[in-house]
Amino acid sequence: MGSLFLAGAACGAVNIWLGEGRGLIVLALVAVGNLLIASTGLLALAATGITTGMALWLAWFIGVAIALLAIAVPSVAGLADEPSPMPSSLRRYFRIHLAVVLPVGVAMFVFPLWAQPIWPWAMAPVNIRLLGAFFLGAALISFWSQRQASWHTVLPTLALYAVFASAATVASLIHFGLFEPGRLITWLFFALYIFVATGGWYFLTRYPARA
């Protein structure tokens, strides 16, 4: 969760640095992701009941989603596309990411018990569904990103991905004892996060915000 908050801060910082409204649309997509995360809590209410912690959880993610939508949606109305076209390699990066996280996200969110083996360590079904919500949110962002005409528009997304995947990789290495090195899924997990982090940092440095 800490990785997610750091990534959100990086995304917001790049939006401020750019000083351009179109990139703010990614904040609206993050808001949808927050609503997906909140939905995992709603689906778990039958088992957990409405506790103080759950109420605070729902209030936080739903409140943040509403705030992000209030900021992002009015800011992108009537904006023209930037003249700098998105390179094909960047578009491929988003498409590869989408092709991986979409099916995994659907499986983990909709069928958490069935999807348990595709995660490197054992978790409760509600946590599997929570991670599925993260993946579905990321899939939505990558789907939107690969359809954009300008790389200026997706720089906040690249910051989001680079920081999140880097922090998540470091955290996973710190807690490597949770993993089983003999399982293929362990190395696929690290391959995905290293791919996302490396690609995010590469494109951030290769395609600066100002030409």
Per residue in 140-189, pLDDT (tens digit) is 889 989 988 887 788 888 988 999 999 999 999 998 988 888 899 999 99
Rounded Cα–Cα distance for residues 38 and 45 (Å): 11
Nearest Cα to 31, choosing from 73, 3, 2? Answer: 73
CA atoms within 13 A on the CB side of 201: 10
Residue 85, beta-bridge partner list: 150
Domain residue spans of the chain: 2-19+84-206
pLDDT of res. 93: 96
Average pLDDT, the chain: 81
- Higher-confidence residue: 85 or 3? 85
Nearest Cα to 39, choosing from 134, 160, 164? Answer: 134
DSSP-assigned letters across all residues of 99-122: HHHHHHHHHHHH-HHHHGGGSSS-
pLDDT tens string 14-65? 665 665 555 566 777 777 777 877 887 777 777 767 778 778 878 888 888 7
pLDDT of res. 78: 44
At position 25, the amino acid (one-letter code) is: I
> For the purposes of burial, counting CB atoms within 10 Å of the CB of 176, is it exposed (0-12), middle (13-18) or buried (19 or more)?
exposed
Longest dimension (CA), the chain: 54
